[in-house]
Amino acid sequence: MGANTSQVSDLSDNSSLKALVGKESISENDPFWNQLISFTFISPTSSGDSKLLEEAVIPLAKILIENNPRTGNFGALVRIFLGRTKELKISTECQDQLFIWQAHNALFMIRCLLKVFIREMSEGELRLQFSYHERVPGSCGETGSEDLLEELLSNLVHLIVDVPLLDITYSILFEAVTTLLVFFSYQLFHKDILRDGIVYQHMMKGRCLSLTSRLVKTLLYNFIRQEKCPPPATHIFEPKAEGGLLYGLASGVAIRLYSTIELISKQQMSLSWLLIYPVGVTAQSKLLNQLGSGLGDHISVCTEAGRSLCLCISLTSVTYTSSLEQPHIFQINFNSLYTALCEQQRSDQATLLLYTLLHQNANMRTYMLSRTDMDNLILPILEILYHVEERNSHHVYMALIILLILTEDDSFNRSIHEVILKNVSWYTERSLTEISLGSLLILVVIRTIQFNMTRTRDKYLHTNCLAALANMSAQFRCLHQYAAQRIISLFALLSKKHNKVLEQATQSLRGRQGDNTALPDYAQDLNVIEEVIRMMLEIINSCLCNSLHHNPNLVYALLYKRELFEQFRTHPSFQDIMQNLDTVIGFFSQRLEQAGSDLSVERVQEVIMKGAQALPKDRLKKFPELKFKYVEEDQPEDFFIPYVWSLVFNSGVGLRWSPHGIELFSMDSG
């Protein structure tokens, strides 16, 4: 960074950088600036390289903080960048790679300095760093002191929405997104959610407001495109044929740049989407994106100021209005968006986006549920849950919420049992040569509950798992034998835990010889376990009452483990629902006894299938339909803001923050 600099170790001795942060003001018309931003330094992509860069930049930035009130050189650097970007679209059309590269370099320097500024000063003090350019003789002074910060933010958004994503613009567009993330990173150093910050006010109430819908459109479109890394040749500046400075990159630098872009391409769209979330939620301001109905496979989204957001892209169904009435309307193809979501679902960011669309957008949800290839979307989500021990808890939670939202729809619960899968490779506990998507979903969700009960003990996680199972239970169809066995094995695990807590309570009470004033609150533990047991009994009962003849494997598993249910027959919390299970167990047990002894598995299943047709439905007591609906917390940003920023913190390419001083989330969260 800085003229003729290609190594981090050279930064502290670079004469151009010394002049930038020094005590002398530099006019914006000075040739110095052209020299300063003509360098071949490659942006770091690894955490280690980012750390080395920041350690080299910090002392330079601190000197600039001290001298900038007198020199205004930081404001001058910003204005040099703004001047370059005014002609960036023309440069792109003319394939002026040198001009674009210089603009990128200027922005890269601004971003590196800003990152230190934000760590060292308040937003009010940061604004002053932009205002000092007014004091410099010869400054253009076209904007007021408070406008330069806003102009930079507006310019970055304009850059993202106006400059096409091409091979030669990939780096500068990535840098624009990264710089915006740095601006918003004040949130990292505050435990409470920021709602009145200067940066957010500029973004949500200033000149950026009119660009918000275009920004959303661009980022969604980029997510859909999933642009691959450009070839290295597009980033090599050809030397001048005659005279002048040579801006060509050495072959080794070009190869390294190619590796940089290749790595960036894997996360650029994710960072683009993450950009929207902290802007909208934290500012509690405007982004209401409305979905226009009647457009077939297209969404119409419009921005409406004055409405606070719950999520990054809040889509709600409204009657379609023409673009003349709603100037912010734009369209995105549903099919393309759905395909991109399916392909990227294994990432946290894509899962968050899918959740947003399903939760906030009724028409998008309807479109997804109408697809005949839902397995392309569901299988990656189930794989996330299957590898629960390898995923962060937030990602698992979001995947479960998506399943819960989907299972609110009865047509989904029916259709997933009609999709037959062959050889699910990632499911390694058993060989699943043929299983329905519905049975696989049940297997994975119950496995998640069992993992949670033995490891993390997250009440909300297993509550949402059980709610999804309950929503599906009336539509269980032809359950795979492993799925049926897993349902009963979960009940066995709950029964065992119930008995263990009872035993511990009894032993504790005996040990205190009647003095129960300090007796541990085993009653609370029992209540929790019994609530879960009750839910499991209701799920089994729902299946038996609504689709008994479709589920011989569940009846078989129920009979095989009938002794598990005996202890709950007289329990006051379960007596009513146990009547139905007793009826089913008694009915089929009698028919098996009548069929003779030493029956083969095939013969038992035959008896069960015939018995299912013969059991009168009126012998089973009717219970209310099991239906659960996902409802967000009153302040969802308390969950989403720390989660999103933890993703940026842990996976941002070329971005690294020291864990010291981070207040928004703990370092072991996620």
Q: Does residue 263 carry a pLDDT above 60? A: no
Worst-scoring range by mean pLDDT, 182-196, 251-265, 481-495?
251-265
Of 588, 587, 566, 564, residue with least CA distance to 575: 566
Confidence of residue 520 (pLDDT cuts 50, 70, 90): low
**What is the per-residue pLDDT for 517?**
53
317 DSSP β-pair partners: 291
Of 166, 44, 176, residue with least CA distance to 106: 176
How confident is the model over 285-328, as pLDDT tens digits? 222 222 222 233 333 332 232 222 223 333 333 322 333 344 44
Mean pLDDT of 66-89: 91
Confidence of residue 195 (pLDDT cuts 50, 70, 90): confident
Of 187, 253, 214, 181, residue with least CA distance to 4: 253
Calpha distance 229→225 (Å, rounded):
12
Q: Does residue 82 carry a pLDDT above 50? A: yes
Of 250, 256, 224, residue with least CA distance to 237: 250
Q: Does residue 440 carry a pLDDT above 60? A: yes
The total of other beta-carbon atoms located within 10 Å of residue 48's CB is 10
434 DSSP β-pair partners: 422
Q: What percent of the chain has pLDDT over 70?
A: 77
Confidence of residue 507 (pLDDT cuts 50, 70, 90): confident
**What is the per-residue pLDDT for 67?**
96
Confidence of residue 141 (pLDDT cuts 50, 70, 90): very low
**What is the per-residue pLDDT for 514?**
52
In contact, 374 and 415? CB cutoff 8 Å: yes
For residue 25, give every residue at least 6 positions away whose Cβ sits within 8 Å of its Cβ, in sequence order, or none: 70, 71, 72, 73, 76, 136, 137
Phi, psi of 480 (to 5 degrees): -60, 150
Confidence of residue 345 (pLDDT cuts 50, 70, 90): confident
Q: What percent of the chain has pLDDT over 90?
A: 42
In contact, 273 and 353? CB cutoff 8 Å: yes
**What is the per-residue pLDDT for 10?**
67
Pairwise pLDDT comparison (251 vs 615), residue with the higher score: 615
Q: Does residue 191 carry a pLDDT above 60? A: yes
**What is the per-residue pLDDT for 144?**
47
Q: Does residue 9 carry a pLDDT above 90? A: no
**What is the per-residue pLDDT for 668?**
62
Q: Does residue 216 carry a pLDDT above 80? A: no
Q: Does residue 207 carry a pLDDT above 50? A: yes
Pairwise pLDDT comparison (471 vs 356), residue with the higher score: 471
**What is the per-residue pLDDT for 251?**
28
Q: Does residue 166 carry a pLDDT above 90? A: no
Of 599, 517, 591, residue with least CA distance to 555: 591
Six-digit token string for 99: 């001009």
**What is the per-residue pLDDT for 477?**
92
Count of CA atoms in the C-beta half-sphere (13 A) of 160 = 32
Count of CA atoms in the C-beta half-sphere (13 A) of 327 = 4
- How much is the pTM? 0.82
In contact, 536 and 466? CB cutoff 8 Å: yes
**Share of the chain residues as helix, strand and coil, in percent rounded to the nearest 5:** 65, 5, 35
For residue 375, give every residue at least 6 positions away whose Cβ sits within 8 Å of its Cβ, in sequence order, or none: 419, 421, 437
**What is the per-residue pLDDT for 513?**
54
**What is the per-residue pLDDT for 247?**
31
Six-digit token string for 490: 């979960």
For residue 54, give every residue at least 6 positions away whose Cβ sits within 8 Å of its Cβ, in sequence order, or none: 112, 115, 116, 656, 658
Q: How do the domains of the chain map onto residue ranges?
A: 8-132+147-236+259-291+300-318+638-651, 372-473, 478-508+521-625
Q: Which of 276-285, 594-603, 636-645 has the highest mean pLDDT?
A: 594-603
**What is the per-residue pLDDT for 47?**
74
Q: Does residue 271 carry a pLDDT above 60? A: no
Calpha distance 24→489 (Å, rounded):
76
**What is the per-residue pLDDT for 512?**
58
Of 552, 667, 563, residue with least CA distance to 605: 552
Calpha distance 529→151 (Å, rounded):
58
**What is the per-residue pLDDT for 198?**
85
Q: Does residue 594 carry a pLDDT above 70? A: yes
Q: Does residue 22 carry a pLDDT above 50? A: yes
Q: Which of 10-24, 143-157, 228-242, 316-330 has the highest mean pLDDT?
A: 10-24
Q: Does residue 100 carry a pLDDT above 80? A: yes
- Cα distances from 303 to residues 250, 323, 423, in angstroms, run 47, 12, 45
Q: What is the residue-averaged pLDDT of the chain?
A: 78
Long-range pairs for 236-243: beta carbons < 8 A, 24 or more residues apart? 237/97, 237/98, 237/101
Six-digit token string for 370: 């109408």
**What is the per-residue pLDDT for 256?**
30
**What is the per-residue pLDDT for 653?**
66
Calpha distance 69→65 (Å, rounded):
8
In contact, 631 and 360? CB cutoff 8 Å: no
How confident is the model over 445-486, as pLDDT tens digits? 999 999 888 776 677 888 999 999 999 999 999 999 999 999
**What is the per-residue pLDDT for 632?**
86
Q: Does residue 32 carry a pLDDT above 50? A: yes
Calpha distance 272→556 (Å, rounded):
51
Q: Look at the alpha carbons of 27, 29, 31, 32 in this order and tell me if their dihedral is positive or negative.
A: positive
Three-state secondary structure string covering 24-57: CCCCCCCCHHHHHCCCCCCCCCCHHHHHHHHHHH
Worst-scoring range by mean pLDDT, 216-220, 241-245, 508-512, 638-642?
241-245
Q: Is 194 helix (H, G, I), strand (E, B) or coil?
A: coil
